[in-house]
Structure 1
Amino acid sequence: MRPTGTGTRPRIVKTGRIGMRPYIGIFQMKSGKGFSKRLFYNNLIRVVVLLLTLTLFLSACSENTNQNMTTVQIGLENVGTPAPGATDAASGANRGIADKPLGRIIVSVWTGGWKGNFDNEKALASVIDEYRKLYPLVTFEWRDWGNDLSAKLEQAWKGTLDKGITTPDLVLVSPTDLYQYAASGYLEAFNDYSEFTSRRADFVPAALDTCKVATVYYCMPWLAETRLTLINKRLWSLAGLDAAKLPRTFDDWDAIMPTIVKKTPDEVRAVWLKPDPLTDFLLEDLPLFQGEGSSRTPAFNNPVTQARWLNYQSNLKSGALMREALDGNSQDALNRFIGGTLAVWMDGGDSLAALKGISASNYSQNTLVTLNPVSKPGIVPYQSKGVWVVPKSAKNKSRAVDFAGFLSNDQNQLNFARIMSPFTAVPTVQKALSDPFITDTADLLAQARSLTASALSNAKPPEKLLPYPLSADNRAKLLTALTDAQRKIWSGTTPPAQALFEADKIWAEVLKQ
């Protein structure tokens, strides 16, 4: 509507948007008789108020946009810009994180061997997304170093990382490295972190014990498995053995192996068992050394070990054990098992998924699964799929411990167990072990998980037998000495006492250093 009168009026030339920014066109004034100063100032006030309102609106939009601009890209540094003065209050009171001014936090996560594994990457990205729903201001930088993880960690301990590489806040390491790093003073103790203490009762005690050095906990437990044996049902039946009464101890196996050798065809081999000296000592619950510090001396050359290794030699001579297993790999054993020339495959559980993919009929109709044999103490090896540790040099320790606990909760452990090869690893959270994915026994892989879960209470990590701290070179020397001793009794006629004595001398020299 055009106003009456001949005076000059304010006129909006244009309004609209430029990109995402609203703008207001300028006011043009025309002079003439009857011009009203009052009208001019009224309109000017309206414009000022409108401009202030739009400024506040744009500022609020900008803050909201910045706060939610975080992207989570696996393998790349993720950039997020939280609003100044923002707090990390979401669920914080219930999860051990204080409601405090936070600003932008980037948590650096390191792994070894996950890069390129689509399932692992997708699962980790999903966990990060869920965590950021609780804590929108936390972003993540994930680096996977493959086989170079240990070397990069050594650089981190020494402060010699290349420019641009952030010191890790959270790392997935093997138990062997856990004990060495903890004893060397490189890792943060978890005992005083509520993010850990509030979760302790959730875990299987054996898993917690894996994280402990003396009385100090240095990690958050994750997935684990133990060793499993595969049995050819047709050959088992041909030997006249009862599939409902599978042997459990080495004594049980000693009693039936001659029967398998005698009652199966000549081309059939009875048992594939790849020797592992650390596991041998674990099963007998024997120490590898005694004393502390520079006073440590080897303790493994004893009558119990000699008897175990002498038993190996006897079963090798009779044909019950296969010498080929010493240098053979899992593919060799798998080919024999599928071909019907291997009756028993000890430590074959990791190949169940491969067996299912290559020979579904053998998998579903001709295979039994049971736990590897145990000695009289009944201990089984705890085989960790890694544990989450926080370096002492980490910048965001509480946050890293909290995220480790989130990664290790029952649902996330179950999700990783579903996708982690070889699919026989199980969660270490007690609640998760009652899930149908673990308790169901309708399928061989499900039976394997159920067996592993039932054995966790008697599981111990072989890596804990080694002395620590040790340099990587000295640790390798000790392991090589034991492996060489076992090779001598496995592949030749060297008496176990002599082979162990030679390894003993090497250990004595290394332990003095």
Structure 2
Amino acid sequence: MIIQLWFLIIVSFWGINCDYSQGEIEETITIEFWTIALGDAFADFINGMIKTYESEHPGVQIKWVDVSGAEVAEKFLAALVGQTPPDVVNIYDLPRFLQYGVLVDMDSLVAPEEQNKRLENFWRGIGQYQGRNYVIPWYTGVSMLWYNKEIFDLAGLDVTKPPSTIDEMLKMGEHIFNTTGKYGISWRLHPSLGAPPWALLRIDGFWPLFNEQQTKTLINNSKAEAIFQKWIDAYQNGALPPEALAASHRDDVNWFVEGRAAMLPFSGGWITRYFDKSFEHKATPSAQPRGELGQVPANSQALVVPKASKNIEIATDFALFVTNDHNQLEFCRQVAILPSTKKAALDPYFSRQPQNLADEANLFSSRDINNSFVLAPPDVKGWSRMEDILYEEFAKAMAGQQTIQIALERVERKWNHLLSYQ
């Protein structure tokens, strides 16, 4: 709380602190670049990319810092408060920073022709706030489904027929729990991870959550109630692990790999690095089950540049270099991820004959990249607090402490109260 108060105070002075003249720039400019959990497996790739940029930009030095996913948001906040921010940051929990206006507006800084190289749904994705984009999209993931053939067989299900819809997946999940004692679906519902409660609505076609003027919410609706109720029923009937509401980073992967859950909606094949030989024979990739929307959820890692950076233009140039067609495609060759640029996404690499299990999974993801929507929250002021309210009320309904009807009434009242002060 103290850090956040100082954060708000310092934000008000950034208009003064960030005005650096050319005379203040040292001969060697250092750009501090933060990534999330890439140091162990991808050090050679990242260092090679940095070396190339430095050789093409004499006088610029890149300082690479790799941060764990669980710590990156708090460390970034602390760096902003301490007025020692990194220059280019791969960050989680974006709404928290967007609402304070501390990030550079990329719509203003990046040329239209450069913007047009990016897939539209990712450029207008997780970094969208009040009609402007504040991120440069990096690598992405489009959801597909992993399922455990051994658990399917134990449950008496056809191992060649995974679910094709969300409703089928939930019903199969309950059946698996009732027949095997295993949880049906490995799923995280925490706001900062996985698919939070509002995402369940969007997957099934209930969107937007606010009227056009953003003066009131539309969430207290019979369709939203029905969507939430089927997830509550599935949770209470064993389709989801009880920890789904409080899951932390990669818990869903662990539940699946450990054999606690039979199905894992996930973005591609990079998790195969956690499979041992015996599990490789059980795990099978397939297409993502569809909700009523008919589209597949996608996520996007993104780079931001804080306004407090002393070298905003150089930092942005480096971020564009990291995320260009060539570097994204090379990164995709290192691990089963997808690019966010148009040219790279069309590369034959993504339609080649699969060479391993990870390639098979990524093929399902790449086929749906043009039928995907980015799991970006509503573009409304005060969303960070609103999301907390929705999670709190939904969690009570999941735990049987209140009905979903009462939960939605409470969300509606609290959200409209917040909207009335904007």
Question: Which TM-score applies when normalising by structure 1?
Answer: 0.64
Alignment pair present for 1:108 and 2:28? no
After TM superposition, the structure 1 stretch with the greater mean CA deviation from structure 2, 479-488 or 404-413, is 479-488
Alignment pair present for 1:361 and 2:274? no
Which of 266, 271, 274 pairs up with 2:188?
274
Label 1:296 to 1:144 Cα distance change in 2 as closer, same or farther (>3 A): farther
Label 1:484 to 1:424 Cα distance change in 2 as closer, same or farther (>3 A): farther
1:389 — aligned with what?
A: 304
Distance 2:130 2:91 in 1: 19
Distance 2:45 2:303 in 1: 16
Alignment pair present for 1:230 and 2:152? no
Q: Which segments of 5 or more consecutive residues in structure 1 lack a partner in the other structure?
A: 1-101
1:137 partner letter: G
The answer to whether the 8 A contact 2:269-2:362 is kept is no
**Cα deviation per residue 1:67-108 (whole Å; 9 max; x = unaligned)?**
xxxxxxxxxxxxxxxxxxxxxxxxxxxxxxxxxxx9835142
2:115 — aligned with what?
A: 200
The answer to whether the 8 A contact 1:334-1:351 is kept is no
Distance 1:317 1:406 in 2: 47
Which of 104, 112, 115 pairs up with 1:188?
104
Distance 1:190 1:154 in 2: 19
Label 1:136 to 1:336 Cα distance change in 2 as closer, same or farther (>3 A): closer
The answer to whether the 8 A contact 2:31-2:63 is kept is yes
Alignment pair present for 1:491 and 2:392? no
TM-fit CA distance, 1:277 = 0.5
1:151 partner letter: L
The answer to whether the 8 A contact 1:426-1:438 is kept is no
Secondary structure in structure 1 of the residue aligned to 2:342: coil
Distance 2:88 2:338 in 1: 22
Matches within 5 A, 1:75-474: 104-111=27-34, 113=36, 117-142=39-64, 146-147=71-72, 148-152=74-78, 154-155=80-81, 161=83, 165=84, 168-174=86-92, 176-177=93-94, 181=97, 184-191=100-107, 193=109, 196-210=111-125, 211-213=127-129, 216-237=132-153, 239=155, 241-253=157-169, 256=172, 260=176, 264=179, 266-275=180-189, 276-283=196-203, 284-290=205-211, 292=213, 296-316=215-235, 318-323=237-242, 325-327=244-246, 337=256, 342-347=261-266, 352-353=271-272, 355-356=274-275, 359-363=276-280, 365-385=281-301, 387-418=302-333, 423-433=335-345, 434-436=347-349, 439-465=352-378, 467-468=380-381, 470=382
Distance 2:211 2:215 in 1: 5
TM-fit CA distance, 1:362 = 1.7
Distance 2:62 2:258 in 1: 48
Secondary structure in structure 1 of the residue aligned to 2:62: strand
Distance 1:317 1:379 in 2: 27
The answer to whether the 8 A contact 2:138-2:340 is kept is yes
Label 1:138 to 1:349 Cα distance change in 2 as closer, same or farther (>3 A): closer
The answer to whether the 8 A contact 1:268-1:343 is kept is yes
Distance 1:328 1:191 in 2: 34
Label 1:109 to 1:458 Cα distance change in 2 as closer, same or farther (>3 A): farther
The answer to whether the 8 A contact 1:282-1:465 is kept is no
The answer to whether the 8 A contact 1:111-1:171 is kept is yes
TM-fit CA distance, 1:261 = 5.7
Identity of aligned residues (%): 22
Distance 1:453 1:247 in 2: 19
Secondary structure in structure 1 of the residue aligned to 2:146: strand
The answer to whether the 8 A contact 2:147-2:283 is kept is yes
Secondary structure in structure 2 of the residue aligned to 1:222: strand
**Cα deviation per residue 1:172-216 (whole Å; 9 max; x = unaligned)?**
334x42x565565433333455x6433333322222222544554
2:22 — aligned with what?
A: none
| Number of equivalences | 384
The answer to whether the 8 A contact 2:209-2:378 is kept is yes
**Which is bigger in relative contact order (C-alpha 8 A, separation at least 6)?**
2
2:7 — aligned with what?
A: none
RMSD: 3.6
TM-fit CA distance, 1:498 = 1.0
Distance 1:347 1:410 in 2: 24
Matches within 5 A, 1:26-105: 104-105=27-28
Distance 1:461 1:188 in 2: 21
Secondary structure in structure 2 of the residue aligned to 1:223: strand
TM-fit CA distance, 1:441 = 2.6
2:338 partner letter: V
TM-fit CA distance, 1:361 = 1.8
Distance 1:184 1:316 in 2: 35
Distance 1:336 1:168 in 2: 34
The answer to whether the 8 A contact 1:190-1:217 is kept is yes
TM-fit CA distance, 1:109 = 2.6
Distance 1:366 1:181 in 2: 41
1:457 partner letter: N
The answer to whether the 8 A contact 2:206-2:224 is kept is no
Secondary structure in structure 1 of the residue aligned to 2:368: helix
Question: Which TM-score applies when normalising by structure 2?
Answer: 0.75
Secondary structure in structure 1 of the residue aligned to 2:136: coil
TM-fit CA distance, 1:407 = 0.7
TM-fit CA distance, 1:347 = 4.5
After TM superposition, the structure 1 stretch with the greater mean CA deviation from structure 2, 141-150 or 272-281, is 141-150
Secondary structure in structure 2 of the residue aligned to 1:441: coil
Secondary structure in structure 1 of the residue aligned to 2:341: coil
TM-fit CA distance, 1:144 = 5.8
Distance 1:443 1:254 in 2: 29
Label 1:220 to 1:261 Cα distance change in 2 as closer, same or farther (>3 A): closer
